[in-house]
A and B are shown apart, each in its own frame.
Chain A
Amino acid sequence: MKFSSAALAFAALMMTGPAFAQDADALMSAPPGEPFVQVSDVLPLPEFLPGLGTLFVDPGTLPAGPFLSYDHDGKLSATVYMTPLEELQNGTAYDGLSLGANTVAGVDIYYNAGHPGVETPHAHVVLFHDDGAKGRLAE
């Protein structure tokens, strides 16, 4: 059976993953509440990271996250995962990760050399939750 790339993309966008147990509406605006902490409050990083926005994370889920990404208006815009390359290479799998929201409009995956919190080279997997999210998080 063959699938067209467009059909696969559509299916991927419509897939739903395990969402957080708490009320999804509570995550839609910053701050998301416990157990999440604002990354810039606990690590030496800017409050708003160009491309990633203002990040919140449950420390118990580090390093992969999910990191909840909010725009300048505090709107949930993306869910971000950070997966160390060496751990992946050594056989670690990050399965069943939660989503900040079930709607995914686009995905970016790219390399990052490291930063406080995830200091080894890793991949950023960014799930944007609406069409304008990437633009709002850019600067």
Chain B
Amino acid sequence: MTLSRRQILALGGGLCAAHLAPRNLLAASIEVIEMRGTARGEHVWFVPRGLAVTPGTVLRFVNRDKGNSHTATAYHPAIFDRARRIPAAATPWDSDFLLPDESFEVTLTAPGVYDLYCIPHEMSGMVARIVVGTPDEQGWEGAAGPSDDVSQAVLDALPPVEEILSRGRIEEDTR
């Protein structure tokens, strides 16, 4: 195959654009978020617990905890009457309980900050924050603030939006 000068220039421009894009903003695709736990259930958590993606990214939640079931549930009044912590334009979701190795997918399109939790483990801090797009996008909605609906422990477990955007992925796992 031979490429014309115009095609080569276009290809070069595309490569440059790719390099100029935010380094840590992952391209639209499927991103896996694992649900994990220690063998005896002392600790449970999402991996990653903070993730930056582009609009249209599919999130696949997979339960990798052999001894427990988990959910990935959006904070939203339509689901257990929780205070909304996802963009107003977003559709709320609840994976229902996932047994070991079961999975659930959801596509996030509305730009903004999404907080989610595991129903039986919210009290243990099993929460995650997904940042879709960047604050300069039209319709962006930032993180929900504190409310009586969530504990301070939950708020503390959610990574700051700025950190997620700068690092792209937060999954410290020292447990």
Contacts and interface: CB of A to CB of B under 8 A. Distances in A.
B10 interface: no
A120 B151 CA distance: 14
B68 A45 contact: yes
Interface string B82-103: 0000000000000011011000
B72 to A, nearest CB: 14
Nearest to A138: B39
B66 to A, nearest CB: 5
A116 B39 contact: no
A111 B41 CA distance: 8
Contacts of A46: 66-67, 69, 99-100
A50 B39 contact: yes
Interface string B117-141: 0011101101000000000000000
B40 interface: yes
Contacts of A110: 40, 42
Nearest to B97: A44
A49 interface: yes
A115 B97 CA distance: 11
Contacts of B99: 44-46
Contacts of A136: none
Contacts of B97: 44, 116
Nearest to A47: B99
Q: Is the interface of B mostly helix, strand, loop or mixed?
A: loop
Contacts of B96: 44
Given A46-B99, A51-B67, A111 B42 contact: yes
Contacts of B164: none
Given A44-B99, A46-B100, A115 B66 contact: no
A109 to B, nearest CB: 11
A115 B67 CA distance: 9
A41 interface: no
A4 B81 CA distance: 56
B123 A120 contact: yes
A114 B39 contact: no
Nearest to B44: A113
A113 B67 contact: no
Given A51-B40, A113-B41, A119 B123 contact: yes
A51 B44 contact: no
B43 interface: yes
B69 A112 contact: no
Chain A CB within 10 Å, residue with most, of B39, B69, B100:
B69
B124 A113 contact: yes
Nearest to B40: A110
B128 to A, nearest CB: 16
B43 A50 contact: no
Contact of B66 (A50, A113, A121): A50
Interface of A: 44-46, 49-52, 110-116, 119-121, 124
